[in-house]
């Protein structure tokens, strides 16, 4: 909360905020037991006490049986407020960090930021993981536009392919916009999975099996997104002019 600016909402379920804040009642009994176990001067126990006091001083909700007759209504209210409070992104960038993180995609990200777009780019270099993180899943879900930068090694990354499958899902269920950018690769190579894309998918089939549902979903996502209207970046173009056109198009759509 202090270092990352996270939202914290306390919910008091059949307890009083004052009992949590002052550690009285059952909270006082619990902390006394911890002091007996770890010692009255235990740094750990003092941190727990401090955390209880600090979090219970924040604005929150009290649930009491009888006052809130229907628990599901109480929960629904909190969920609605949470959804409204969570950050939403204008643009999500899907890309191969190996190819374009510190070049094309990095410049594209900065260009969007300069124009005031709230844009999500996985800048922590997490692609070594086996599964796409929940943070990225939520970022895709909460974006208005996903831009997929297809580059030479994009299809080798299972992380990128999982992002792609999620993007397709959100396109279908949330009517999100998706723009493919073909960065020194041909649209047909992505769509038909030839050249580096064919080699990458063959490697995935060898690893997961030719009949793997996961691989079939990845193939389908590649073909489907590659068939959308997109943008081609080729060697005879100035990178800054190409990026400027993409950002200007996003601005025009945002103003509609």
Question: Which of 220 and 77 is assigned the larger pLDDT?
Answer: 220
Q: What is the pLDDT of residues 218-229, one digit of tens each?
A: 999 999 999 999
Query: Does 131 have pLDDT greater than 70?
Result: no
Those residues whose C-beta lies under 8 Å from the C-beta of residue 116, and which sit 6 or more positions away, are none
Write down the residue that tokens 């619990």 correspond to.
Answer: 30
Residue 109's nearest CA partner among 96, 119, 124 is 119
CA distance 238 to 243: 9
Q: Residue 3 — pLDDT band, cuts 50, 70, 90? A: low
For the cut 80, the answer to whether the pLDDT of residue 1 exceeds it is: no
pLDDT tens track for 8-44: 999 999 899 999 999 999 999 999 999 999 999 999 9
Mean pLDDT, the chain, rounded, equals 90
Residue 234: its pLDDT value, please? 86
Q: What is the pTM of this model?
A: 0.68
Quick check: 136 and 163 in contact, CB under 8 A? yes
**Nearest C-alpha neighbor of 94 from the set 145, 142, 131:** 145
Give the Cα separation of 35 and 45 in Å (integer).
Answer: 7
% the chain with pLDDT above 70: 90
Angle between helices 134-141 and 158-174 (to 10 degrees): 30
Helices (H), the chain: 17-22, 25-38, 43-56, 71-85, 97-100, 104-114, 134-141, 158-174, 187-192, 195-208, 213-226, 239-254
Domains recognised in the chain with CATH numbers? 11-84 (3.40.50.10140), 88-254 (3.40.50.10140)
Backbone dihedral angles phi then psi of residue 231, each to the nearest 5 degrees? -135, 135
Residue in 54, 84, 163, 205 annotated catalytic: 163
Determine whether 19 is an active site residue.
Answer: no
Of residues 255 and 134, more confidently modeled: 134
Q: d(Cα 181, Cα 231) in Å, to the nearest integer?
A: 5
């Amino acid at each position: 909360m202090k270092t990352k600016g996270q939202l914290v909402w306390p919910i008091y379920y059949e307890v009083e905020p004052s009992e949590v804040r002052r550690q009285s009642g059952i909270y006082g009994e619990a902390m006394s037991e911890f002091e007996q176990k770890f010692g009255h001067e235990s740094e750990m126990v003092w941190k727990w006490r401090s955390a209880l006091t600090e979090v219970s001083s924040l604005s929150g909700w009290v649930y009491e049986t009888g006052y809130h007759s229907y628990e599901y209504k109480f929960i629904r209210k909190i969920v609605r407020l949470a959804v409204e409070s969570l950050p939403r992104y204008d643009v999500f960038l899907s890309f191969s960090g190996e190819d374009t993180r510190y070049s094309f995609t990095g410049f594209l990200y900065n260009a969007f930021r300069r124009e005031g777009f709230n844009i999500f780019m996985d800048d922590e270099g997490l692609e070594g993981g086996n599964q796409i993180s929940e943070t990225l899943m939520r970022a895709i879900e909460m974006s208005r536009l996903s831009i997929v930068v297809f580059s030479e090694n994009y299809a080798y990354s299972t992380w990128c392919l999982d992002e792609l499958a999620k993007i397709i899902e959100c396109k279908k269920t949330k009517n999100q916009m998706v723009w493919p950018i073909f960065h020194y690769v041909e649209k047909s190579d992505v769509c038909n999975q030839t050249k580096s894309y064919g080699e990458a998918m063959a490697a995935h089939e060898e690893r997961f099996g030719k009949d793997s549902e996961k691989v079939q979903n990845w193939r389908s996502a590649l073909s489907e997104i590659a068939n959308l209207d997109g943008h081609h970046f080729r060697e005879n173009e100035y990178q800054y002019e190409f990026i400027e056109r993409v950002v200007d198009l996003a601005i025009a759509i945002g103003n509609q």
